[in-house]
Structure 1
Amino acid sequence: MTTRTPTTPNTGQDMARNATNTAATTEKTKQDNKTAINAADGITTKPMQANPTNKPKWPQQIKSAKSQWNKLSEAELLKVDGDPQQLAALIQKHYGLSPDVAKEQAKSFMQKQTA
Structure 2
Amino acid sequence: CNVDQIQWTPDNKTIYFKSTIKAETQLFSIDVKSRKIRQITDGPHDYTWFEYRNGVMAAGRQSMAVPTDLYRVNLKDGNAVAVTAENDAMLKSIPPISIEKRWIKTSNGEN
Query: Normalising to structure 2: TM-score of the pair?
Result: 0.21
Higher helix share: 1
Instruction: Report which structure shows greater RCO (CA 8 Å, sep ≥6).
Output: 1
Taking structure 1 as the reference length, the TM-score comes to 0.21
